[in-house]
Amino acid sequence: MKNTGIWMDKEKAYIIDIQESNEDMTTIFSEIEDYRIHGGSGTRFKGGPQDVVQDSKYLEREKHQFKNYFKKIIPYIENADSIVIYGPAESGEKFLKELETNYKKIAEKVKAVLKADSMTENQTKALIRDYFKKQKQRLV
């Protein structure tokens, strides 16, 4: 049985495959740009020229970058029997939504989407190993 855990945020994803006593870890970087939208007045005088900020343009580009990021992860998890997703913010929920929309067979394998702060690689491995160990104990 191949258990896969993913810790992900906007920057990178750690994918840990656990099969019996073997552990493999892969890191995938997202290439999602960090947007810092600057807007407001172009002058210090009231009524001066204003810069118009097009939030929708940035958000649309970010949405496409997330889709590309998720597509890079799919080949690493499609053969898993059981998947758990960890991470801060909403990256995990966005990923699950993408799986449910476009990769239904993989989405069925997702057992949980849980919040977890940033961690080192070893902490991430331990977290995922412990999750599957607890799941195994519940079944016995």
Confidence of residue 118 (pLDDT cuts 50, 70, 90): confident
Residue 43 pLDDT more than 60?
Answer: no
Any domain includes 129: yes
The helix (H) or strand (E) run that includes residue 73 is: helix 55-77
- Please check the confidence at residue 48 and state whether its pLDDT lies above 70: no
Residue 76 pLDDT: 95
Asked whether residue 111 is domain-assigned, the answer is yes
Distances (CA, A) of 92 to 12, 57, 95, 99: 12, 23, 5, 11
Q: What is the pLDDT of residue 53?
A: 58
The domain tally of the chain equals 1
Q: What are phi and psi of 133, to 5 degrees?
A: -65, -45
Q: Give φ, ψ of 55 to 5 degrees.
A: -60, -40
Task: Please give the pLDDT value at position 40.
Answer: 52
Range from 15-24, 105-114, 121-130 that averages highest in pLDDT:
105-114
Choose between 37 and 25: higher pLDDT.
25
pLDDT in tens, 51-82: 555 678 888 888 999 999 999 999 999 999 99
Q: Is residue 44 part of a domain?
A: no
Task: Examine residue 28 and state whether it is found in any structural domain, yes or no.
Answer: yes
Threshold 0.75, pTM exceeds: yes
Residue 46 lies in a domain: no
In a domain, 41, yes or no: no
Q: Are strands 40-41 and 50-51 parallel, antiparallel or unpaired?
A: antiparallel
Distance CA 57, CA 86 (A): 29
Residue 42 maps to a domain: no
Average pLDDT over residues 90-95: 91
Question: Residues in the chain, how many?
Answer: 140
**Domain of 105: which CATH number?**
3.30.420.60
**Does residue 43 sit within a domain?**
no
Which domain range does residue 131 map to? 2-36+51-139
What is the predicted pLDDT for the residue at 44? 59
